[in-house]
Structure 1
Amino acid sequence: MGLSFYENSSKAKELLERASEYCKIDFKHLLFEENENLNKSEFTQMAIVLNSLMAYEALKEQTDLCPKYSLGHSLGEFSALATQGAFDFLDVIMLVNKRGQFMQEDCSKIEAGMMVVLGLEDQVVEELCQKALNDGKNIFAANYNCDGQIVVAGLKPDLASYENEFKNAGAKRAMLLNMSVASHCPLLKNASMRLSRELELVLKDEFKSVVSNVNAKVYNDKSQALTLLSDQLVKPVLYKQSIKAIDDEVDFYIEFGASVLKGLNKKITTKETYALSKIEDIEEILKVVK
């Protein structure tokens, strides 16, 4: 993760080394070698954000990129905010470490989990989640990824008990994910409150335009961010809605650090998405940003 950026971009290398010193963590070990910490939410989140920002720095080293909007999926919103000036890069890496801790601590007390549901309309999934709540079960719509793909979150026994409910409603697939947290649902209420206090300390007063996961609208100041980023832990990620909200105003998209969203975007928009997951990808991107 991020090795090609580290080896080929002086800015990316500098960022990783500064982050290692600032956070007192050997990020070369965490990102470049097999280790158990990558399976722990507080370290996973740091690694993903650092990798995304290294990719961003590698591209910025070769072009004066100035996006009209920045957005992310769940954790990616924090990377997006950092690139738009809402956080110092080092501060956001420490912040998501705490975010991961808070989430894991809340979920360690319960059998938390998430399930992907394929092939159902949003309304059908929402109605089944409401039915589950009426039955005393904890199941919530968590990620609106693209048409026909929603991730639900809640308690693992409740999710497992509703697998056939989703399938009987016409789902092509309803599968528990290998996760020990229940992101973007009310089960993280305590983590949300704790995160709010940390956000207050590091958010800048103003920044460039970011699209919120919570409401698919643009925001650019601290007061809005404090509310939206706290709410993000307990409310669903409106990813496909966010892309649709800005699609008419953009020419293309760039994904930093991975290519997962590129796959989702193919199902949402006809605009091209360029994935920057290794240094070699920059050459293709430069053809359209220069």
Structure 2
Amino acid sequence: MSKKIAMIFPGQGSQSIGMGKSFYENSALAREMFEKTGERIGVDFAKLLFEENDQLDKTEYTQPAILLVSMIAYKLFQESRPSDAVMFLGHSLGEFSALCASGAINYVDAVELVHKRGKLMSQACESINAGMMAILGLDDAVVEELCAKANSEGKQVWPANYNQAGQLVVAGIKEDLQSMESVFKEAGAKRALLLNMSIASHCPLLSSAMEPLGEAMEAMVNDSFSAPIVSNVTTEKYATKSEALKLLKVQLIQPVKYKQSIEAVAGEIDMMIEFGNGAVLKGLNKRNAPDVETLGISDMESLSKVCEALS
């Protein structure tokens, strides 16, 4: 009996210099994808990904780079061992990779779309001192309560990424986040770490990006879903263009419920395969769904190992 596989895709923070190089050096398809996407948005992806630079961590470049490497991994896997997914799922930006893998958007269009998304997010935060903070060792409910109390006092701090039990990232105005560091620690947090970011993802500070992102998606997304996508916003599945447009716009200002999504679908699947650099989601899934194996494809060696494991 064939395994029920969820194909999953990482988001921002998974990037690193050198990612995708194994694919680029060993696959004509990978080189073609580098070239086509680079031409579309005017970026030399080989230079961006393989040479030391300060561009890769800028969100308008981070997002297309991560999506490109994820889609190369996915397409090479499908070329090596064609496999159907019962669902697709991504973490934040990774939901756009999931949309692409499902067939609802062409990979070149998807790279252009997330390049625009990154620009819109940066623009929304350019006139404010925005940031994000990782909270370790506190229950979600405690973080939520502390953020709600801060909101009532006029501070702009919100839960942004539910990654795993005891790991929640909050977003908002940097000064407000810094003022909350001692509050989180007094409540029992092991760490309250301000991240090296100049945007505040998945909170109301990005509301100005919603409509222009929706307009760009309208022209690029279609209704050809090979399998449903699990929404970061609702943890429920969708498989239509209209739902994708609505949910991916709202995703900008609503928290990523990654932990809850994995918990919601774990009973429906036998395995997850992560496509893209590193093994960020595989690490999270050890706690989110310890009984479901997660394999990862980030280079040619891991591609071979996953194909062998499935044969």
CA distance in 2 between partners of 1:99 and 1:51 (Å): 17
* 2:125 matches 1:103: no
Partner residue in 2 for 1:238: 257
The Cα offsets for residues 136-158 of structure 1, whole Å up to 9 and x where unpaired, read as 00000000000110000000000
- Runs (4 or more) in structure 1 with deviation over 6 Å come to none
- Greater shift after overlay, 280-289 or 79-88? 280-289
Whether the 8 Å contact between 1:71 and 1:211 is mirrored in structure 2 is yes
Q: Superposed, which structure 2 residues align to 1:117-136 within 5 Å?
A: 117-136=135-154
CA distance in 1 between partners of 2:24 and 2:61 (Å): 19
The Cα offsets for residues 26-46 of structure 1, whole Å up to 9 and x where unpaired, read as 111111112232132111111
* 2:246 matches 1:227: yes
Give SS of 1:140's match: strand
Return the TM-score normalized by structure 2. 0.91
* 2:290 matches 1:272: no
CA distance in 2 between partners of 1:245 and 1:81 (Å): 19
* Cα deviation, residue 287, structure 1: 2.8
The Cα offsets for residues 36-77 of structure 1, whole Å up to 9 and x where unpaired, read as 321321111111111111111221221102111111100010
Of structures 1 and 2, the one with the larger relative CO (CA 8 A, separation 6+) is 2
Whether the 8 Å contact between 1:114 and 1:179 is mirrored in structure 2 is yes
CA distance in 2 between partners of 1:42 and 1:100 (Å): 4
Give SS of 1:167's match: helix
* Cα deviation, residue 98, structure 1: 0.4
Partner residue in 2 for 1:10: 28
* Cα deviation, residue 16, structure 1: 1.3
Give SS of 1:85's match: coil
For 2:159, the aligned partner's letter is A
Partner residue in 2 for 1:80: 98
CA distance in 2 between partners of 1:253 and 1:227 (Å): 26
Partner residue in 2 for 1:113: 131
* 2:40 matches 1:22: yes
Percent identical across equivalent pairs?
A: 52
* 2:283 matches 1:263: yes
Partner residue in 2 for 1:247: 266
* Cα deviation, residue 10, structure 1: 2.5
CA RMSD of aligned residues (A): 1.1
* Cα deviation, residue 289, structure 1: 2.7
For 2:39, the aligned partner's letter is E
CA distance in 1 between partners of 2:78 and 2:51 (Å): 26
Number of residue pairs matched by the alignment:
290
Give SS of 1:36's match: coil
For 1:49, the aligned partner's letter is L
Whether the 8 Å contact between 1:116 and 1:152 is mirrored in structure 2 is yes
CA distance in 1 between partners of 2:128 and 2:262 (Å): 33
CA distance in 1 between partners of 2:105 and 2:129 (Å): 33
* Cα deviation, residue 252, structure 1: 1.1
Whether the 8 Å contact between 1:65 and 1:289 is mirrored in structure 2 is no
* Cα deviation, residue 23, structure 1: 2.5
The Cα offsets for residues 204-253 of structure 1, whole Å up to 9 and x where unpaired, read as 02412110000100000011011100000000000011111111111111
- Greater shift after overlay, 3-12 or 230-239? 3-12
* Cα deviation, residue 109, structure 1: 0.8
CA distance in 2 between partners of 1:148 and 1:185 (Å): 20
The Cα offsets for residues 64-119 of structure 1, whole Å up to 9 and x where unpaired, read as 02111111100010001100011100000000000000000111110100000011
For 1:190, the aligned partner's letter is S
Of the three residues 209, 216, 221, the one matched with 2:235 is 216
For 1:64, the aligned partner's letter is P
CA distance in 2 between partners of 1:232 and 1:186 (Å): 10
Q: Superposed, which structure 2 residues align to 1:62-211 within 5 Å?
A: 62-207=80-225, 208-211=227-230
Whether the 8 Å contact between 2:102 and 2:224 is mirrored in structure 1 is no
For 1:31, the aligned partner's letter is L
* Cα deviation, residue 162, structure 1: 0.5
Give SS of 1:247's match: helix
